[in-house]
Amino acid sequence: MTLILARASSEFILQVADRLTTNRLTNLPFEKVANKNILFFASNSVVALAYTGDAHLDNIPTDYWIAEKLSGIKFNPENPHMMKTCENNNQDVGWALRNLSNELANHSRSEHLFLLISIQGWQWNSKGRLRPLVGYITKLPPENTFGVHYEPRDWYFKGAQTISAPKSIMTIAELTELSNSLRNKPALESENLLVEKIREVSRHKSWVGPHCVSILIPPPSEPNIFVRYHPADHLKLIESQKLANDQQIWAYSPWIISPRMCMPPNEVTGGGFTISTGLFTIHFSSETPKHPKWLFSASGQKRRRIR
């Protein structure tokens, strides 16, 4: 289980998720810095996806399973490459999300899966008309099978949306209060408020973690995307939330999947990085402690399979 919070408007798209996965039977941490986020570039969109629910599908981390369906290539989570060339390089976002939904609906364990994929980003048509895109993939009534749901095309005319996934973690009153606190706030201030809200929830719910990743996507007319890793203050955490010493020095990036390349989650130290894909530039930074002797390094983050 995880908590995903997002703020979507005609001004910016912002998605924040914690990084904890837990054992469903014991509620104890399974991985404290697992990845939940995918930054996905289609032929007509750029969207941030994050999941909540079952942390593994087909014995691999769920983010790996989702990334394989979006990119068309397989990765070994225990020995990931830093980057590969993608194969599905002409898909539009509608096709990609329908295919992902159909894969879940046809999965051998579909009836027993609990999974919600939260989606926020930008979509444009052949004439260059742009709109913010908000939706999700989960089981939909009355068939109770996986499907894609989108907000109406003109939803943003009524103002910004504050999104919580799953909805059950926050009451309507709590979500309304959070939305009110975000009203008219710029992107950076909104980002800090969403991170702090997730940490507040993590103090009361053991299956929500305090360490977060945020993805900020301005309108594509400003083609700079900002991804940040937000580790919580080690001294303010209860023992079960603290990272091991070797985990504290690293920053953790999300998936980046575009028509040109596919980059799995990386462990990064010694600073952030900037990477370009098509017209977009992605800036990754972190609040991890700086050290004058740490040179920049990055490697694929090794993840655990279910045996």
Residue 212 lies in a domain: yes
Distances (CA, A) of 118 to 3, 30, 102, 254: 10, 22, 16, 15
List, for residues 43-84, the tens digit of each pLDDT value. 999 999 999 999 999 989 999 999 999 998 888 888 887 777
**What are the residues whose beta carbons fall under 8 Å from the beta carbon of 18, sequence distance 6 or more?**
2, 3, 36, 198, 202, 208, 209, 210, 211, 212
Residue 32 lies in a domain: yes
Pair 273, 282: CB distance under 8 Å = no
Number of domains into which the chain is organized: 1
Residue 307 lies in a domain: no
Residue in 37, 32, 86 with CA at minimum distance from that of residue 202: 32
pLDDT at 90: 72
* pLDDT beyond 90 at 2: no
pLDDT at 246: 74
Pair 265, 300: CB distance under 8 Å = yes
Residue 10 lies in a domain: yes
Q: Which is more confident, 89 or 19? A: 19
Residue 306 lies in a domain: no
Q: Which domain holds residue 274?
A: 4-300
pLDDT at 100: 96
* CA–CA distance, 229 with 252 (Å, rounded to integer): 6
List, for residues 267-304, the tens digit of each pLDDT value. 888 778 899 998 899 999 987 766 655 666 777 788 87
pLDDT at 170: 87
| 5 three-state secondary structure | strand
* pLDDT beyond 60 at 117: yes
* pLDDT beyond 90 at 247: no
pLDDT at 25: 64
Residue 305 lies in a domain: no
What token pair was written down for 16?
């924040």
- Cα-Cα-Cα-Cα torsion 270, 274, 275, 279, nearest 10 degrees, comes to 170
* CA–CA distance, 198 with 219 (Å, rounded to integer): 25
* CA–CA distance, 102 with 108 (Å, rounded to integer): 12
Average pLDDT across the chain, whole number: 89
- pTM (two decimals): 0.93
Percent of the chain exceeding pLDDT 90 equals 58
| CATH code, 77 | 3.60.20.10
* CA–CA distance, 135 with 249 (Å, rounded to integer): 35
* CA–CA distance, 185 with 209 (Å, rounded to integer): 25
Pair 5, 164: CB distance under 8 Å = yes
What is the pLDDT averaged over residues 190-202? Answer: 95
pLDDT at 89: 64
List, for residues 155-189, the tens digit of each pLDDT value. 999 999 999 999 888 889 999 999 999 999 999 99
Residue in 223, 292, 209 with CA at minimum distance from that of residue 252: 209
List, for residues 203-217, the tens digit of each pLDDT value. 988 889 999 999 999
